[in-house]
Amino acid sequence: MPQEKLDLLRLQKPIRDEMNDLLRALNAASTRKDLEAERALQIESIQTLESTRKLRSADAEALYIIFDDAVEARLENLP
């Protein structure tokens, strides 16, 4: 589901590739600690792209929501 939402955004290829990498890392995380670490990396990456004006505010907001929802869903499914 997060991948489909990510695909709907019109991101430049380097940014899309970075977001796909973050999503893969999130999917590979298997503990609460790892998921929280991934969340922190996602936030930092999005903030950096937004502050350097490589990402529009609307796209940044959409990415925050996509990744936050993905992390929360993964946390709910942990044993």
* Per-position b or e across 9-39, b if 16+ CB within 10 A of its CB: bebeeebeebbeebbeebeebeeeeebeebb
- The answer to whether the CB of 32 falls within 8 A of the CB of 75 is yes
Q: What is the pLDDT of residue 78?
A: 86
pLDDT tens, N- to C-terminus, the chain (79 residues): 889 999 999 999 999 999 999 999 999 999 999 999 999 999 999 999 999 999 999 999 999 999 999 999 999 988 7
